[in-house]
Amino acid sequence: SSPHLVQVRERIRINGQPISKEQFNKYFWLVYNRLEETKDPARASMPAYFRFLTIMAFHVFLQEKVDLAVVEVGIGGAYDCTNIIRWERCGGAGAAPRAPQPGWHGASRGGCPRKPVVCGVSSLGIDHTSILGDTLEKIAWQKGGIFKSGVPAFTVAQPERPLEVLRARARERACPLYLCPELDAFEESGRALALGLAGDHQRSNAALALQLARAWLQHHGRCGEASTHGPRNAGGERGGRVSPRCPSPAGSGELMDVPPSVEAGWTVPLAPVFRPSVAMVQGLREAEWLGRTQVLPHGPVTWYLDGAHTTSSVQACVRWFRQAALNEDKPQDGSEVRVLLFNATGDRDTAALLKLLLPCQFDYAVFCPNFTEVSVVGSADQQNFNVTLENALTRCLENQKTWTQLLEEKVGQDVWLAPPLEVGSLLKPDAVRGALLLVPSAERPLNSNSLVFPCISHALQWIAQGRDPCVPAPAAKGAHPHPVASSGAVLLQEAAAIRVLVTGSLHLVGGVLKLLDPALSQ
């Protein structure tokens, strides 16, 4: 998987846990030395960072004899270096990209595995446009590049035209493509399945995960659950039960063909709804995902972490944050300060992302690069040798300027595209602030002052003002001569509650987690 949040070892996991430091050291040098010894003298360069870790991950999985490898693509799919698991071979491992990056391939050891067992494409978003293209249709074409002949693929609800591109890619590759029913279609003992992750978008990811898991279990004849809602017949009715071993026509793990769901209007057939196993139900209920819709209460300071970095994911982040903040106990005196901590890198449209965050009504917007400390001496896991501190700070200043311009153009109008949340009587419509507010009734003008700090550590120190036991207080009195920093420090020191949304970059979220939870660095 990629990227990592705190330690690079997070990218290679076995049974859900990052490989140990000893394992990482052992396999890193083994792979590095072999590549060094066998490289073409005419081309002296070694594989780049992500490609090297991909090769290393495959080697780890082979040496550790895993039963199943789940591999997330790095960027896109068609030309991604993870997309090499495609030919028939004996004694190999397999792979599958997963929900955060649309695209997975799944395969297993033992016997003679034939290509990946299953592929998946999660919700599409605009990202990495310089490589993948600037439309969802172009990105869908890239994602469909992981489809394999005769290997079932699953996706979730997509806009019509990108979905048609996925369908065309599946057809040209003779790949059976299925649309995942929503998670609400599944149930346990008559009750909806519980998910340990917050946010409606995570329920979409969970629905995809269920189908991928079932496809692999079906491939191995271990699918012991009975289907109570089998595939639809030609009349659109559910029928039949899946046998305990879930046999498939060709023994390749493919599902029986399901006619399109006419009433739903989809051109891609729906995958069957089935009764999840006890292990599946437990896995969904206990699911945790650091840095995604994560809440860390630290006394009067509550940190909301979500590494959203596309327009669609920021929309989901806004919905989650507003709901999560509303669910928190309100200070009796109403003295609540809301702070945005943001960074965005690469070719991302910062203006589009920040515009979606306006309705959250932040009192302060704080921008900083993804460096945990100003000093170049730090954790190698957090280093980025592709950008200098000067360039990173320049981007932060540009982000701050964009935020200021957006505030001048549009004062808190709801610009995020989403159905209204059901949040009860605490909220009221307001033409200026938008349809949803984070506070029940106080008439408070938008006053989102902004600051730029040279590193994450300095930003956290100013935000927390010594009130978070995990964050040291600012170095000395008068350390922030800027008038906004000085006046803001007083408000933060006196506020009954400080709510901080950290978003825009997974690397930023990772740096914040490293400082807020030092145990993650062990």
pLDDT band at 17 (very low <50, low <70, confident <90, very high): very high
Q: What is the pLDDT of residues 205-226, one digit of tens each?
A: 999 999 999 999 998 875 444 3
Q: What is the pLDDT of residues 297-356, one digit of tens each?
A: 999 999 999 999 999 999 999 999 999 988 887 777 768 999 999 999 888 899 999 999
Domains of the chain in sequence order = 1-64 (no CATH), 65-285 (no CATH), 294-521 (3.90.190.20)
Q: What are phi and psi of 349, to 5 degrees?
A: -80, 90
Burial tier of 48 (Cβ tally within 10 Å: 0-12, 13-18, 19+): exposed
Q: Which residue has the tokens 């300027």?
A: 401
- What's the distance, CA 140 to chain centroid? 18
Instruction: Give the mean model confidence (pLDDT) for residues 285-301.
Output: 94
Distances (CA, A) of 347 to 126, 130, 254, 452: 11, 7, 38, 20
Between 457 and 110, the more confident residue is 457
Q: Which residues contact 419 (CB under 8 A, 6 or more apart)?
A: none
pLDDT of residue 436: 26
pLDDT of residue 34: 96
Instruction: Give the mean model confidence (pLDDT) for residues 74-99.
Output: 65
Instruction: Give the mean model confidence (pLDDT) for residues 104-133.
Output: 75
Between 153 and 390, the more confident residue is 153
Strand partners, 452: 367
Q: Which residue has the tokens 């515009």?
A: 355
pLDDT of residue 386: 66
Q: What are phi and psi of 451, to 5 degrees?
A: -140, 155
DSSP assignment string, 240-293: ----TT---SSSSSPPPP----TTTT-SSPBPPB----HHHHHHHHT---TTSS
**DSSP character for 13?**
E
pLDDT band at 379 (very low <50, low <70, confident <90, very high): low
Q: Are 316 and 201 in contact (CB under 8 A)?
A: yes
Q: Are 48 and 20 in contact (CB under 8 A)?
A: no
Between 500 and 250, the more confident residue is 500
pLDDT of residue 239: 33
pLDDT band at 59 (very low <50, low <70, confident <90, very high): very high
pLDDT of residue 52: 97
Strand partners, 68: 108
